[in-house]
């Protein structure tokens, strides 16, 4: 493993960051690559135009920028993508950021992964300082899984999940609910989570980037998706928050906690505490807006000094809410896919 060296990041701002609407911003999602080894139908088109490599921040640059964000008051970082584990030398970044968990400067470092390469990386993730991860799994049926991911092999993900468990990582499964695609998979996936000691978060499909499927056909409000769960279990709302947008429920007769991410049917923007750094060096203050500030040029010209002013500008412009619309014929809210901003 190559060591990414820490740099002097300047004084921490004790009061942390607040946006123009007074919301505390202490959570950073980093999309470490826009590339992926799968092509999930709700996320990507079959043929994707990925960013040229020269436009991508190096892992060292990502680590230095993230360190400046930590100095400004970020307490949690989630690494995402694209598929983070397809980025070569990803371990270097995991160790560089994990150091801040070990020092107490960060409360948590986590990641979201599709799990295809988890079997090889699970122990490294734990060693680097991660304690919980989210793994996407939209079906336990190999054929449905292959259909949704356009060719993904379910067995690889299940091996990866077994390795994560063996390495001591807490796992939460992310499942995007899709009408007439995986509706009947909700109970099997829930039972699998119970058996494995995993949490389960259901997600409504969001209109980000053009995809071949019509999202209005596939959109399944979670109130409908959880109907079979409610037939078997009582849902008990919990106060628990994990820094993300999910609302959590305990289920009668089950250990598994159920999370619901309902950006369409129940907007979660009032509590938004997040900003997003893309692999291209842009800060997006909202998943559902095109507005961004471009850190890469400022950082390359002025070093960390260039980051602060842009960070302040980004905070001032964070919108109050997204305006997702999955009505038939509506354009996606953004041209970029979730894989660019980091889900
Ligand atoms: N490749 C990794 C994975 O799939 O877990 C990380 C990146 S992926 C963009 C992060 C999460 O976003 C996944 O759980 C995925 O299911 C979800 N996602 C992607 N596109 C989405 C969309 N249009 N609407 C809702 N969720 C989406
Ligand atoms: Fe890749 Fe994740 Fe998007 Fe699926 S959801 S295509 S695994 S980035």
Ranges under pLDDT 50 in the chain: 6-12, 14
Report which secondary-structure segment, H or E, holds 304.
none
Question: What pLDDT is recorded for position 287?
Answer: 65
Please work out whether the CB of residue 43 comes within 6 Å of at least one atom of ligand 2.
Answer: yes
- Residue 220's closest CA among 237, 232, 206? 206
Q: Report how far residue 106's alpha carbon sits from residue 83's, in angstroms, rounded to the nearest whole number.
A: 23
What pLDDT digit, counting tens, does each position of 266-298 carry?
566 767 788 889 999 998 877 666 678 899 988
Question: What pLDDT is recorded for position 303?
Answer: 87
**Ligand with an atom nearest the CA of residue 35:** 2
Q: Which residues contact 90 (CB under 8 A, 6 or more apart)?
A: 32, 59, 84, 121
Q: Report how far residue 165's alpha carbon sits from residue 126's, in angstroms, rounded to the nearest whole number.
A: 10
SS3 256: coil
Q: Which residues contact 70 (CB under 8 A, 6 or more apart)?
A: 9, 12, 77, 100, 105, 106
Are the C-beta atoms of residues 263 and 324 closer than 8 Å to each other?
A: yes
CA of 81 relative to ligand 2 center, distance in Å: 8
Please work out whether the CB of residue 33 comes within 6 Å of at least one atom of ligand 1.
Answer: no
Pocket test for ligand 1, best of 79, 268, 284, 343 (most atoms within 8 A of CB): 343
CA of 343 relative to ligand 1 center, distance in Å: 5
- Residue 136's closest CA among 175, 177, 110? 175
Minimum CA distance residue for ligand 1 atom 21: 43
Minimum CA distance residue for ligand 1 atom 20: 43
Please work out whether the CB of residue 263 comes within 6 Å of at least one atom of ligand 1.
Answer: no
Give residue limits of the domains in the chain: 23-341
Q: Which residues contact 337 (CB under 8 A, 6 or more apart)?
A: 34, 43, 44, 48, 208, 209, 211
SS3 277: strand
CA of 136 relative to ligand 2 center, distance in Å: 8
CA 136 to centroid of chain Cα atoms:
10
What pLDDT digit, counting tens, does each position of 144-188 carry?
999 999 999 999 999 999 999 999 999 999 999 999 999 999 999
SS3 248: strand
SS3 249: strand
Pocket test for ligand 1, best of 31, 33, 82, 112 (most atoms within 8 A of CB): 112
Q: Report how far residue 7's alpha carbon sits from residue 242's, in angstroms, rounded to the nearest whole number.
A: 29
Q: Report how far residue 158's alpha carbon sits from residue 129's, in angstroms, rounded to the nearest whole number.
A: 23
String of b and e for 38-57 (b: at least 16 CB within 10 Å)?
bbbbbbbeeeeeeeeeeebb
CA of 154 relative to ligand 1 center, distance in Å: 16
Which CATH architecture group holds 23-341? Alpha-Beta Barrel (3.20)
Please work out whether the CB of residue 97 comes within 6 Å of at least one atom of ligand 1.
Answer: no
């Amino acid at each position: 493993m190559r060591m990414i060296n820490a740099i002097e990041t300047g004084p921490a701002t004790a009061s942390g960051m607040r946006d123009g609407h007074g919301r505390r911003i202490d959570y950073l999602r980093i999309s470490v690559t826009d590339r992926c080894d799968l092509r999930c139908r709700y996320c990507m088109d079959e043929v994707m135009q990925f960013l040229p490599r020269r436009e991508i921040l190096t892992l060292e640059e990502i680590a230095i920028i993230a360190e400046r964000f930590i100095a400004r008051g970020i307490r949690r970082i989630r690494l995402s993508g694209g598929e983070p584990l397809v980025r070569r030398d990803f371990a270097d970044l995991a160790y560089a950021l994990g150091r801040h968990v070990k020092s107490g400067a960060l409360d948590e470092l986590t990641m979201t992964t599709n799990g295809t390469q988890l079997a090889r990386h699970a122990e490294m993730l734990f060693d680097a300082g991660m304690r919980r991860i989210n793994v996407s799994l939209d079906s336990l049926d190999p054929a449905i899984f292959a259909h949704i991911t356009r060719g993904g092999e379910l067995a690889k993900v299940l091996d990866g999940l077994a390795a994560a468990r063996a390495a001591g990582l807490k796992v939460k499964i992310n499942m995007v609910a899709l009408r007439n695609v995986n509706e009947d998979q909700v109970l099997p996936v829930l039972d699998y989570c119970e058996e494995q000691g995993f949490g389960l978060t259901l997600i409504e499909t969001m209109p980000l980037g053009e995809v071949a499927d019509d999202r209005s056909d596939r959109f399944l409000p979670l109130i409908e998706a959880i109907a079979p769960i409610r037939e078997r279990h009582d849902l008990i709302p919990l106060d628990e928050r994990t820094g993300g947008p999910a609302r959590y429920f305990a289920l009668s007769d089950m250990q598994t906690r159920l999370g619901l991410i309902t950006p369409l049917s129940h907007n979660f923007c009032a509590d938004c505490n997040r900003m997003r750094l893309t692999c291209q060096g842009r800060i997006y203050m909202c998943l559902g807006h095109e507005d961004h500030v471009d850190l890469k040029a400022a950082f390359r010209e002025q070093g960390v000094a260039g980051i602060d002013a842009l960070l302040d500008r980004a905070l001032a412009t964070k919108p109050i809410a997204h305006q997702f619309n999955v009505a038939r014929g509506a354009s996606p809210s953004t041209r970029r896919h979730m894989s660019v901003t980091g889900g």
